[in-house]
């Protein structure tokens, strides 16, 4: 049924919980997994003053390293569980990047904090944004 599974991660404990669920499912189904870390360029998300440009480049490099570390941890977990997996860090805006990537997969697995009210309004939800735009089935794991 599900032969290929996309699992976006941001390296957080919540996304790690979703990875564990998704990898258990992949193991049971004999599915292949692909991990995706979306690197949002801070210069595109916020205004950076000209004097901040050197730090902005350093920040982007730090974020890239964090993404590579998140993918490495996900790949290590997949290896431990005996699941065939690949991973990548891709620059872009999280929701459209994940929606586009999901087109090549049978299932998408993501975590959510389950925020409501003001927290949801202020912090938003990448998972919810993806859920309403993607055309493949989505397994949403509510984090503890």
Q: Is residue 7 part of a domain?
A: no
What is the average per-residue pLDDT within 17-39? 97
Q: Note whether 2 and 29 are within 8 A (CB).
A: yes
141: helix, coil or strand? strand
Number of domains in the chain: 1
Q: Is residue 51 part of a domain?
A: yes
- The pLDDT value given to residue 143: 85
pLDDT > 70: what percent of the chain?
82
Q: Is residue 1 part of a domain?
A: no
pTM of the predicted model as reported, rounded to 2 decimal places: 0.87
Q: Is residue 103 part of a domain?
A: yes
Residue 8 has pLDDT above 70, yes or no: yes
What is the average per-residue pLDDT within 101-114? 91
pLDDT confidence band for 135 (50 / 70 / 90): very high
12: helix, coil or strand? coil
Tell me which residue of 11, 15, 10, 41 sits closest to 139, measured CA to CA.
15
Give the per-residue SS3 of 21-77.
Answer: HHHHHHHHHCCEEEEEEEECCHHHHCCCCHHHHHHHHHHHHHHHHHHHHHHHHHHHH
Q: Is residue 44 part of a domain?
A: yes
Higher pLDDT, 124 or 27: 27
Domain of 123, CATH number, reads: 3.40.50.620
Mean pLDDT of the chain: 87
Q: Is residue 29 part of a domain?
A: yes
**Which backbone phi and psi does 32 adopt, to 5 degrees?**
-95, 145
Residue 97 has pLDDT above 50, yes or no: yes
pLDDT confidence band for 40 (50 / 70 / 90): confident
**Which backbone phi and psi does 58 adopt, to 5 degrees?**
-65, -40
Tens-place pLDDT, residues 48-93: 555 555 666 777 888 899 999 999 999 999 999 999 999 999 999 9
Q: What's the rounded Cα separation, in Å, for the pair 16 and 143? A: 9
- The pLDDT value given to residue 107: 98
Q: What's the rounded Cα separation, in Å, for the pair 69 and 12? A: 11
Give residue 36's domain range.
Answer: 13-141
Tens-place pLDDT, residues 108-128: 999 987 555 554 444 458 888
């Amino acid at each position: 049924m599900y032969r290929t599974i996309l699992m976006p991660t941001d390296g957080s404990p919540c996304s790690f919980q979703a990875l564990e669920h998704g990898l258990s499912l992949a193991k049971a189904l004999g599915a292949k997994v692909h991990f995706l870390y979306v690197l949002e360029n801070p210069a595109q998300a916020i205004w950076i003053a000209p004097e901040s440009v050197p730090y902005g480049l350093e920040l982007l490099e730090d974020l890239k390293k964090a993404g590579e570390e998140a993918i490495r941890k996900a790949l290590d977990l997949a290896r431990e569980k005996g699941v065939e997996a690949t991973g990548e860090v891709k620059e872009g805006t999280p929701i459209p990047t994940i929606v586009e990537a999901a087109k090549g997969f049978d299932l998408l697995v993501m975590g959510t904090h389950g925020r409501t009210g003001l927290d949801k309004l202020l912090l938003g939800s990448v998972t919810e944004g993806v859920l309403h735009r993607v055309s493949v089935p989505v397994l949403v794991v509510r984090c503890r």
